[in-house]
A and B are shown apart, each in its own frame.
Chain A
Amino acid sequence: MKPHRRKKLGIILFIAAGLSVAVGFTAFALKQNINMFYTPTQVAEGEVGAGQHFRIGGMVKTGTVLGATDSLKVKFVTTDFVSDVPIQYEGILPDLFREGQGIVAEGEMDAAGVFQASRVLAKHDENFMSPEVKAALDAAGASTDNYMPGGAN
């Protein structure tokens, strides 16, 4: 390779390395801000300030969903299998909302420690199954509810 070409290639590589390092540091510094939601454990450990508007993500704990009969009010508990946070919400839930499903709720903690949600979104995991496979797995007693929202972190 001719010297002037090597020099040019060097400049390009230098810029690329510099930008990568800059972006890497920025992303690292903003780690918590880039996260979409807090886990119930993070909430229990007091990582969220009082009165703060935030999002919480976890699984809908099986057997905890209580719907009102005369309104759209619903109560349920979200969990990451370490800590639980009770959630209260009034509104239409996404079709995918059900027990054992991952959700992300947006709102605030009230004085009683109940999360008052203004929005509830359903999170879908990375597993795709046909109804036959799901039925076969359930019959065999294999757990298909092994999903942890957030994955890493």
Chain B
Amino acid sequence: MSATIERTTPHLDEAARARLTALVAEVETDPGRISVLFPAVGRTVARGPSNPADPDGLRSPRLEDEARAALLVAAADGWSKEPGKLVEEIGQLYRFGDADEKRAVLRALPALDIADAGLPLVADALRTNDVRLVAAALGPYAARHLDAAAWRQGVLKCLFVGVPLDAVADLDARTDEELARMVADYGNERVAAGRSVPTDAWRILGRHPEAVAGRFPVPSQED
């Protein structure tokens, strides 16, 4: 298990990993224990940003996100013969979680072998206006599993609520002409209202000038 802890918790120091190791062993033996160990992780293992420039953990996981991911991987191991229980508990941890716990569940989804069973949680997070949840929802799990329409709406919401597009996994690979058109129309609405357009918008507009032409003034990439 120590290899898993090292993989899931690159920013934890040795003391925090030692505390986490005991909790991971507890969850491997009795996966149901995660229901009360997971919420307490900020007190029992570690708390704080892994990147001081990103205190809310929008672009990079916080320390407690990493520790909670390790507990979820341990629960997945413990329930390897009962994957339905894992999916149910992930849903319960998200339902009863505060925003920090919900963010940790979302961030851990790519490490759990649950196919698209986590999509309802991603959809819920994208319905909120909480930047922590919107950012975590658009990680690698959404890049792999979320359908194009919902993914585009999620990216547009990032521009709306102020989530940096660095938080969006596979942004360049999944950006398409339709998203560029949506962002161009969004830019027009902002300008019409006398408001500025987030600089991140150009990361999308610039990739598909043909979809934007005539809708929104974008400097050509040769400029």
Whether A associates with B in a native complex is no
Which residues of chain A have a CB within 8 Å of any CB of chain B? none
Which residues of chain B have a CB within 8 Å of any CB of chain A? none
